[in-house]
Amino acid sequence: MAYSAAPDSGAWTLLIATTVVTVCCSELQNMEPEFLNPMQNVTVALGREATLVCSVKNIGEHKVGWLKAEDQTILSLHERVVTENRRIDIDVDNNTYWKLKIRQLQRSDKGCYMCQINTQEMKNQIGCVDVKVPPDIKDDETISDITVMEGANATLVCKAKGNPVPKITWKREEEKRIILKKKLKEISYEKVHGEPLFLVNVRRSQMGHYLCIASNDVPPAVSKRITLNIQFAPEITVPNQVVNASRDTTGRLECTVESFPFAQTYWEDSKGNSITTSENTYKLEEIKTSHYKVTMYLEILKLEYSDFQKNYTCLAKNSLGTANGFLRLHEIIKPTTTTTTTSTTTTTTTTPKPTTVSTTTRMITRPPVIPSSPTNRKNSKVHEGDRKYGGKSVDTTGRRMNGVEKFDEIETQSSSHRASRGSSRARRSTVSQSVGIAAELVLLAAVTAGWSTGCAVDAVVGLVSLALAACPPLFLLAWRDGDVPQ
């Protein structure tokens, strides 16, 4: 600036100078650049593009520069990018809006940026970029396994980073609930917010996988599985200490073991000998039902007398202790069937010996069927009973069944007896009406036909008489029907 630097010049010169300065300064005053608006801060997700806008009025011959505020690194001079960072661009709109663009935003881009105008007295404005970062769990500060003794307290730690700071939520796998103690009361929750998760006086049911879920408003949320192991000495429960079985069948003994760490399990007999699977005698099986539960089975094949004299022990052992359960087999004696003999005797008593012998061939189709029917029914029932005993039904039921059956049988027989007696009584009454006539007719027939014919008929009758004997009155009927001469 030459004008102001001429103090020793003449008055004329001074006049000219002051005029020029005044003109010049008033012009400069008019042309001085100004910021139109304060710069807006921006918050952009990682990987996206951030844009800061610096709006300048009357830029004139002045220049706009962008700097990183914290270390004053120059990023751009006017429309030229100076930094080596290729993700930075400058964009000018209408010679007014100076835009700093940062593409594929990184965490390190977070910070404030300065827009500067090279006026004599530097003018500048500051705008900040915040980088939103999705949550991420810090693996080095989050332990994936924690083991405590039953009854102790457990602290589940889960650290996460992200911007904004992620929130932590706890859940359990398999829809199990989280148990927290609040003022001596136990409350179960589907999810718990906050970190760390503090579990007081833990029990085995709280063992398992816990999920630490970290989330903020930038997706995706992330989770990490933390396994809580709760150690305790084995415990055995025996659902049936005495197991009913009958000889030649398979006896199945069962013990349920709870333990952690998982126990070594085995069976022993009364003498303390360990029982192992052998093709013809024993079959061992184990079914794991949860993180800390196993059901152990011992099958004793083709049971014999000595198997019922033993005690069986199931044992479980882990680093914290040993447990055992005692079991025994109780023999169920298979019931024997004795009913068939009685049925035959009943049948015989109902059959009276035939005394009269005189009939025709028509009689054969008639009564002999009646007395044999209850015997048939009985036989089929006995078989049914046998089948039940063969199966695994309890003996008491079997015996009861048998009793009912016998009773039932007697009932049926006596009632059928009664029925047959009733029917014979009915027949007898019809017979009695015609007995007088019949007697006369027999006499008449005997006279007319002579004794020789009567004897021939007798021979035929003799063959079937045994069967017919069951219902003697029908003799009379048949006799009347068939023997009555016209």
Ligand X SMILES: *[C@@H]1O[C@H](CO)[C@@H](O)[C@H](O)[C@H]1NC(C)=O
What are 272's two structure tokens? 């303390």
Contact 251, 245 (CB under 8 A): yes
Nearer to ligand X, 267 or 479 (CB): 267
- Two tokens, residue 294: 């196993």
Q: Shortest approach of ligand X to residue 173 CB, angstroms?
A: 24
If the CB atoms of residues 392 and 421 are measured against ligand X, the closer one turns out to be 392
Query: Closest separation between CB of residue 275 and ligand X, Å?
Result: 14
Smallest distance from the beta carbon of 369 to ligand X, in angstroms?
44
Element (H, E) at 452: helix 451-468
Q: Which of 128/146 has CB closer to ligand X?
A: 128
**What Å distances lie between residue 128 and 72, 106, 110, 117, CA to CA?**
14, 14, 8, 18
- Report the nearest approach of ligand X to the CB of residue 203 (Å): 13
Q: What are phi and psi of 129, to 5 degrees?
A: -110, 125
Which is closer to ligand X, CB of 200 or CB of 484? 200
Closer Cβ to ligand X, 59 or 370, answer by number: 59
Could you give the angle at which helices 395-449 and 369-390 cross, rounded to 10 degrees? 170
Closest to 359 in 3D by CA, of 349, 371, 368, 369: 368
**Residue 96 vs 324, nearer CB to ligand X:** 96
With tokens 């005495």, the residue in question is 242
Task: By CB under 6 A, name the binding residues for ligand X.
Answer: 38, 40-41, 94, 96, 128, 152-153, 200, 240, 244, 270, 310-311, 326, 330, 394
Residue 105 DSSP SS3: coil
Closer to ligand X at the Cβ: 51 or 96?
Answer: 96
3-class state of residue 101 by DSSP: strand
Of 41 and 430, the one with the shorter C-beta distance to ligand X is 41
Cβ at position 262, least distance to ligand X in Å = 24
> Smallest gap, in angstroms, from Cβ of residue 111 to ligand X?
9
- How near is the Cβ of 199 to ligand X at its closest, in Å? 9
Question: What minimum distance in Å lies between the beta carbon of 297 and ligand X?
Answer: 16
Q: How far apart are CA 235 and CA 259, in angstroms?
A: 6
Q: How many other C-beta atoms lie within 10 A of the C-beta of residue 162? A: 21
What is the smallest separation between the CB atom of 12 and ligand X, expressed in angstroms? 40
Q: Is the dihedral of CA 92, 97, 103, 108 positive or negative?
A: positive
CA 382 to chain centre: 44
Query: Rounded to whole angstroms, how far apart are CA atoms 110 and 46?
Result: 10
Residues found in the chain: 486
Name which of 94 and 273 has its Cβ closer to ligand X: 94
- Pairwise CA distance, residues 450 & 485, whole Å: 13
Q: Residue 132 in contact with residue 124, Cβ under 8 Å?
A: no
Q: For ligand X, which is the closer residue by CB, 3 or 97? A: 97
C-alpha span between 141 and 127 (Å, rounded): 34
| DSSP string across 296-324 | EEEEE-S--GGGGG-EEEEEEEETTEEEE
* Least distance from ligand X to the Cβ atom of residue 357, Å: 58
